[in-house]
Structure 1
Amino acid sequence: MTLPALSSQPGTLPLLDTDVLRTFVAIAESGSFTRAARQVFRTPSALSMQIKRLEETLGHPLFVREARQVRLTPEGEMLLSYGRRLLKLNEEAVSQFLAPSLEGTVRFGTPDDVGTRILPGVLTQFARTHPAVQVDVVVGRSTEIRRRMEEGELDLVLVTAGNQGQEAEHGEIVHTEPLVWACREGGVAPRRSPLPVSLANHGCAWRAMALTALDRAGISYRIAYTSEHCAGQEAAMLADLAVAPFPLSLVRAPLRKVDREASLPPLGDYQVVLIRREGIGAASEALAGHVVEVFRDMSH
């Protein structure tokens, strides 16, 4: 027996059922009724009936069923966005009453480029679910915040690492994306010789990846600018004074990815790694869960 997709009272709009929403999101994210059935502990036929009822009630098909997978229709993509938000709000509401009350302080370290992207979302969600926990944030280079964690000053840290970085062996990889060469749109820096490069200081994974790639390719370069923060690299690019290794997601106008005409070597992917200090408490583990969730949402 399957639960109704929606419930309603006469004269009112129907309400989406949380259980059916969870089923819908599981199918959308796994791309398969069979895989989703294992996640929600139901049979594929039961899931199919739930989705059919949901599609009938909403008046739109939500999935295109193909031989070995299913994919979302435009209406399904719209519902997926609402579904994730509704499930998250439901979790927050329930946690206010049922989750154990956490108190204390969590000391969290992050590089500036990573923190800028995730901290607003992480801190907002964490404050809603655990308002009694104080979060102290330290922003700095990966090597510095890792050292401070080893000395017991930080509980959780995010660090960046290349594909061959040893950091990944000590923590959980929460994000992977391409590192690319970037420059000013319409600029001439990529065509200069030796190539002017803007880099972070020693110890940065992006710096190591860029210099290794240039050396292997035999490209003549000069380090024109160095900075503690990626904002310094961006400033040099905006002024058309240098190119820089930059995450693809951060390359926005008036910056652009360097085209093939410059013959610069590929840089590969870099990773963001979450490292926990041994013996951290429940509050730190709860914040770690929020960090992982925010990166997972970014990847969808």
Structure 2
Amino acid sequence: MFEPAHLRTFLAVAQTLSFTQAAHRLGLRQSTVSQQVRRLEGAAGRQLFVRDTHSVSLTEDGEAMLGFARTILEANERAASWFAGTRPRGRLRFGASEDFVLTRLPEVLESFRREHPEVELELTVDLSETLHEQLAAGRFDLVLVKRHPHQPHGRLVWRDRLVWIGGERLRLDAHRPLPLVAFPPPAVTRARALEVLERHGRPWRVACTSRSLNGLVAAARAGLGVMAHTHGMIPPGLVRIPARAGLPELGGIDVVLLYGTGPGRDDASRGSAEALARAILAAGDRLHTAAAPG
């Protein structure tokens, strides 16, 4: 009833909330993406998206289709791999920013290991910029990282925006430097926060620095200061700083998959990287909306 190609296109639009970005991710024309979504809506007999010239959002039926699409595509891929005899194997060096490891990414990795027991998965958790550098040095086959919007490289998983967050009882004094809770350089969120504050002439000071997201969350919960963080992954116990606080907008952020290109990569590692990438792309909406547990 539902064509796998149409379901993949639907997931890409649902995760990026953009027909243009979905077309870029899938390597299709935007008109083809629109046509495939219309055909899926025709097969379902329901409208899956509300779209106008400025925005795209899921309808209630579209939200329901997310779960069905993932289940159908995962089953289809397992069957195709089994009968084709092309199950991934070998070592897979995967790097991920800690933001994602504290969401539902472990569930995705657990499912991947269960489905592909012949793959030796090596996970490294670090800052996005550090992972970028190590990928360029040939130390990874695949990384899941944050990057500034509209950069040309990478396979877009989802697009989000950065917001200021802090403890529920935090009170900011507009006449004193803004206390920041931040990753150390070269963190993407730290760089964006400092650039925006400098551009708007807002004084600041670093109240806490930690390479651990748990450390930053603990400091923010204690009221030490504010964090720049992705809106879709605000940890429990922290809230978005209201607009009345007068903090400048931080803008958008992309989450992308990047593939390694080093000489150590072989057909096995490339096949394993592509299999994990498909699993992450299929689960992108769940990763995006899952808050870190602590």
TM-score class normalised by the smaller sequence = 0.7 to 0.9
Instruction: Please show how residues 107-146 of structure 1 align to structure 2 within 5 Å.
Output: 107-146=93-132
- What amino acid is aligned across from residue 278 of structure 2 in structure 1? G
Asked whether the 8 Å contact 2:49–2:62 carries over to 1, the reply is no
Q: Distance in 2 between matches of 1:197 and 1:134?
A: 39
Instruction: Please show how residues 148-187 of structure 1 align to structure 2 within 5 Å.
Output: 148-163=134-149, 168-187=151-170
- What amino acid is aligned across from residue 134 of structure 2 in structure 1? R
- For this pair of structures, how many residues does the alignment match? 266
Match of residue 224, structure 1, among 204, 207, 215: 207
CA distance change for structure 1 residues 130 and 157 in 2, over 3 Å: closer, same or farther? same
TM-fit CA distance, 1:217: 1.1
2:108 partner SS: helix
Asked whether the 8 Å contact 1:96–1:129 carries over to 2, the reply is no
Residue deviations 1:249-292 (CA, integer Å, cap 9, x gap): 22254311111222110000112232211264222222222223
Q: Distance in 1 between matches of 2:75 and 2:226?
A: 43
1:117 partner SS: coil
Residue deviations 1:77-132 (CA, integer Å, cap 9, x gap): 54553354244224324432334132200001111112322532331332244221
Q: For structure 2, which runs of at least 5 residues remain unmatched after alignment?
A: 20-30, 290-294
TM-fit CA distance, 1:36: 7.3
Match of residue 84, structure 2, among 98, 104, 115: 98
Instruction: Please show how residues 27-66 of structure 1 align to structure 2 within 5 Å.
Output: 38-39=35-36, 48=42, 51=44, 62-63=46-47
- What amino acid is aligned across from residue 272 of structure 2 in structure 1? A
Give the structure-1-normalised TM-score.
0.72
| Equivalence for 1:289 | 278
CA distance change for structure 1 residues 73 and 266 in 2, over 3 Å: closer, same or farther? closer
| Superposition CA RMSD, Å | 3.8
Asked whether the 8 Å contact 1:226–1:233 carries over to 2, the reply is yes
Match of residue 208, structure 1, among 191, 201, 204: 191
Instruction: Please show how residues 184-263 of structure 1 align to structure 2 within 5 Å.
Output: 184-189=167-172, 193-263=176-246
Q: Percentage identity across aligned positions?
A: 29
Larger RCO, structures 1/2 (Cα 8 Å, 6+ apart): 2
- What amino acid is aligned across from residue 289 of structure 1 in structure 2? R
Residue deviations 1:126-178 (CA, integer Å, cap 9, x gap): 224422111100111223222322332221122222237xxx33322322211
Q: Distance in 2 between matches of 1:93 and 1:99?
A: 10
Give the structure-2-normalised TM-score.
0.74
1:218 partner SS: coil
CA distance change for structure 1 residues 252 and 157 in 2, over 3 Å: closer, same or farther? closer
Larger radius of gyration: 1
